[in-house]
Amino acid sequence: MSRIAPIYPADRVTLREVGLRDGLQLVKTWPGTGDKAEWLRREHAAGVRHFEVGSFLPAATFPQFCDIEEVIAALAGLEGGHSAALALNERGAAAAFASQVNEIVCVVSATDAHSQANMRRSRAEAVALVRRIVEMRDAAGSGKIINVGLAMALGCSISGAVDPQDVIRLAGECLEAGADIVGIADTIGCAGPRQVGHLAAGMERLFGERPFIVHLHDTRGMGIANAAAALDSGARVLDASLGGLGGCPFAPGATGNVVFEDLVYLCETKGFPTGIDLDGLRRAREIAETSMRGEAFHGALARAGPPGNMPWQARL
């Protein structure tokens, strides 16, 4: 817990930019290393500090992440920048430990059906992998944070509805396995705010003062409403991506992650200061858009801007 307190303070909202990881998983074109570094610089200049920058995966299969070491290094050069990257197996974890990355993200599916289909392992095996990665970390005397994302935690592309008690129990097993922080993901973007609020409240009861992450997709347009419900239920760490980058393989044409810019507006108007400047996000979006011309960028703030004649930002 002391490991994450400086990175994810419990008393304020932290927004994690996942566009460079989740947003690049399904795209046909992606930014070159220089553009990724400039994207990070601009979004960092806007006040963002937490970034998922890629996955430790074979470069032959996932060329969009082949420059992950350089992207991590670029972020390491920015004051307070915190990098996270996915490691989906021990090979990926070994690469992550050999890198400068600050946080290793493991994925555990909330359903056995999805876990088997996607990872060819049961949920119990996935939790056991988390435990081994924690052991690798501790054996190496590393300070890296181990983050476990619970995929399909609000509905599964294979099994359908997911029992929240199952998710909470799985989150507890991940904590017990040594995870520093755990996230609940609405991977297919099917949840509404009542369900999100209910699951987040269960997480809050389990985690107490310890923060947890809520990762939402806007597939059915509920992203911002779900984020509001999560905040109301005690969530203080939320994932999003600039322009809502990131498709969903199960819903062609659907938007991806919650739109970062709009999430900033939500947080500020709800009284949670983010320290993030919307004009700065607009400059970051420019580099993302120009380096990925084939992709759709979403979001209302980027179009309309904040209102000019009234206060909307929370007091720091």
| Positions in the binding site for a second copy (CB under 8 A) | 155-161, 188-195, 218-222, 224-225, 227-229, 248, 251, 253-255, 259, 262, 265-266, 268-271, 299-301, 303-307, 309-312
Please, what is the Cα angle at 180 between 147 and 109, to 5 degrees? 40
CB 95 within 8 A of CB 56: yes
Give whichever of 139 and 304 is closer to a second copy, judged by the CB atom.
Answer: 304
- Centre a 10 Å sphere on the Cβ of residue 107 and count the other Cβ atoms it contains: 23
Question: At closest approach, how far in Å is the CB of 303 from a second copy?
Answer: 5
Q: Which two tokens stand for residue 168?
A: 């909470």
Left, alpha or beta for 178 (phi > 0: left; psi -120 to 50: alpha)?
A: left
Give yes or no: 248 in active site: yes
Q: What is the dihedral of CA 227, 233, 155, 299, to 10 degrees?
A: 0
Query: In angstroms, what CA-CA distances link 248 with 35, 190, 272, 282?
Result: 24, 11, 29, 24
Shortest distance, position 300 Cβ to a second copy, whole Å = 3
CB of 24 to a second copy, least distance (A): 21
Instruction: Locate 42 and state its tokens.
Output: 């601009």
Q: Which is nearer to a second copy, 32 or 271 (CB)?
A: 271
Q: How far is the CB of 114 from a second copy (least distance, A)?
A: 12
**Neighbour count for residue 183 (Cβ, 10 Å):** 26
Catalytic residue among 106, 174, 190, 248: 248
- Comparing CA positions, the residue from 273, 280, 282, 276 lying closest to residue 303 is 282
Min CB(271)–a second copy separation in Å: 6
Which of the residues are catalytic?
Answer: 248
